[in-house]
Structure formats: C-alpha cells, structure tokens
Amino acid sequence: MAASPSSRPSHALPTDSLAAALLQAAGAIAAVIAGRNLDQALAGTPPAQRPAAQDLAYGALRRYGHGDFLLARLLARPSQEPEVRALLLAALYRLEARPEDAHTTVDQAVSAAAQLAKGRCKGLVNAVLRNFLRRREELLQAAMNNAEARWRHPHWWIAALRAAHPRDWQAVLTAGNGHPPMTLRVNRRRTDGAAYLARLRDAGIEARALDERALLLARPQPVDRLPGFFDGEVSVQDWGAQRAAPLLEAAAGMRVLDACAAPGGKTAHLLELADLDLLALDAASERARRIDDNLARLGLAARVEAADCRAVDQWWDGRPFERILADVPCSASGVARRHPDIKWLRRRADVAGFAATQAQILDALWRVLAPGGRMLYCTCSVFEEENGAQMRAFAARHADARRLPTAGTEPELQLLPTAEHDGFYYALLSKAAA
C-alpha cells in the first residue's frame, strides 16, 4: 500500500531540516485540496517535523486563496503534480512570513522538490519562487484587488458574511485568517480564577482574566505545562463556548440532556456549575469515549451514550428533560481559524445541508423537553441560515415555543470572532407549560 502524502519518507533529507518540514507540509496540503481533513493529513508526520510542518500547512491553508491567486500568475500552466503545487503554496507562505530568510526558503524548497516527481520539478520550484521574489510588489498589489486573494476566503463565504453582517464582515474575515486564542476554564469545584491565575504566574505563564472562570493565555501552551491540568483544575475551552452552560441555567437536581456532547467541554462545564442528572449523547462511539475521558479527568460523572439524538425512540426512556443543550453540527464558520481547511473544503450547498440536519435535531429534541423546560440552541457558525433564520423557522413550526433573552433583552446572542473568542450563536427557547 502506498504511503499517505503526509507520511511520505524523506530519508534523503535531514529530519530537522526546513526541506523535510516543507515536504511533509506539502503532503498534508495536497491531501486537504483533495478533500481530506487537515488533522488527519498531518497525523502521520514524524514527531521531529510536526511543529514546523504544522505551522507551514496551517499558514498556507489560512491564506490559500492568496497563494492560489499568486500561483495562477507565476505558473505558465498548472502543475500536474498536486504535491509540487502544494510545496509551492507552503514555500510562498514562508517567503511572505519570513522575508528575511528568503534565500534559505528557496534553497530548502528546491531540496524538498528533489523528493517529488522523481526530481523533475526542482527547476520549476526554483524558477517560480525566484520569480515571486522579483515581482513581489506587483503581485501583492494585484492580490489586494481580488476579493478571494485579499480576504483569503472563498467568494461564496465572503458574500454570505457581507449579507449577514454588513457592518462587521471585514473584521470577521480578518479574524478568520489569524491565530486563535487559547483560553482556560477554571473548574470551580477545585479552585477559583484568582488562585489559578496566580499559579500560572508562578509557572511563568502570562495570562489575564476574562471573567471569574475564563483565563486568556498570552501565548498557547501545551497542556502538560498547565498547573493542575491532569488533576482537573482547568480545561481548555474557548471563551465563546463557555457562555453555554451559564445561559442554560440548570439548577441542582435537574434532569439535563446534552444532545451533541463530544468532546464534552460543555457537558463538564454544566456539571461544574451544579449537581445534575445529566445524559450526554454523541452519534459516534469513539467521540462518546472522549466525553468519558474528559469527565474522568475532572472528577465528574454523567451517563454517556453513543446515539443519534434524532432517533429519540432508540435512547429516550420517556422521562422529559428540564434542560436541553442542543450544540448542533454546523459549518464551523465561526472557528475556521482553528481549522483552516474548513474554508476550502466547505461548499455553499453544505450550509443548507447543515441547516436541514439542525432542523431535524431541534424537532426531535422538542419532543423530550418538559413543559416549562428550556432548550439552548448553539452553533459555532456565523452564517444566518444556521442561526437566526433557523430559529425563526423553528418558532413558526412550534406554537408552544417562546424565545427567551440571551443577551440583555435580545432573543439571540451572536458572538463574532475576536482576539478573545471564536464565533458562536446562542438562542434560548422555553416550552409552554401544559
């Protein structure tokens, strides 16, 4: 069986060289362009090359629209070798990110090209990269006049954002091209925000409090550097995602359903806030196991089942829930900077497909919500079709549904990506008493 692109041998290159990292990144980028998930594409990367290859792959894919625009003007005809094109995308990203290191980037990209297409493309790679350096200002100016190259998102995505957020679409696109923040959620059953912030400072980790439980790190850290992480004192969770549990207002003793729960961050947060009779569902058994693992680390307990929440008759025991969290599958357009492959793997029609699935989930879960109970609808999307339009359609189908305020007096909370949090949408629904 042939090696996957991201695990292609690079035995002729020093394992710690930029050339080896470029080669591994090229394999991952080519796999994503062919339709594969980026994390899966990088999974086979040797440990010594993983950090550099990941940086190159993520960087090239965050700016794919820009790099693709440049290559269309630098290549006389499209390369027939997908990995050679991907190598050029990675090298162009590095030339722009590290202009002071241009000579090394070109040299190492040519060395990497020697490992591809039987070495036939070394001259092509050298010529294209040197041509870019000669024409840099001209090409970058041209890119500013092309929407997909300038904003580094597909045309349809840009149009959808402009329609949904006419005042903020540029800020959302800019945020989507940046690096995501790393935020911690302090487990209030083990410690408090002020005490844990002091522990971070003692460990030499710079952070600041966003609220009484959320701490924003100045720079991302591996979890094994976080004091008490493996003892359950903190979890890594975006500040936007941390809004869910408080909005649901689940009180001690309530029967609660987390319907699409993996990997378990919101499940755990609910249990940190109150002792609940909680059922967590996820359609995939492997993902359901991740919920168990996260709860075990935090010293929390819930019933966890692998089940499709839409197939109510297969998992429901007939007892209604007082609170339901519906953190539904979505386009993930609000977290695209964490998964830059999403921008280029998604199609406009996919959003309609997600919206249809969301409607099915909402209708199924409404059956199991107790009269007088509340359901929190949540997405990590910034597209109107999955958010406000979804809620309006649901309210039109269910006369017993009432919208409750989530942000002051507003019936919905749309968080757009910023330096402090990702993009999330929340709407709280109440079911009329019988």
> CB 142: neighbour CB atoms within 10 A?
14
Q: Cα separation of 279 and 336, whole Å?
A: 29
Helix (H, G, I), strand (E, B) or coil at 183: strand
The residue length of the chain stands at: 434
Cα–Cα distance measured from residue 61 to residue 177, given in angstroms and rounded to the nearest whole number: 9
Q: Which residue has the tokens 């309006």?
A: 392
CA distances from 62 to 55, 77, 141, 237, 414 (A): 10, 24, 19, 22, 23
Instruction: Evaluate whether 221 touches 227 at the Cβ level (below 8 Å).
Output: no
Quote the CA–CA distance of 114 and 123 in Å, as a whole number: 9
380 is catalytic: yes
Nearest partner of 180 among 401, 400, 389, 340, judged by Cα: 340
Residue of 121, 260, 378, 380 with catalytic role: 380
Rounded Cα–Cα distance for residues 91 and 189 (Å): 48
Phi, psi for 340 (deg, rounded to 5)? -65, -20
3-state helix, strand, coil in the chain (%, to 5): 50, 15, 35
Active-site residues: which are they? 380
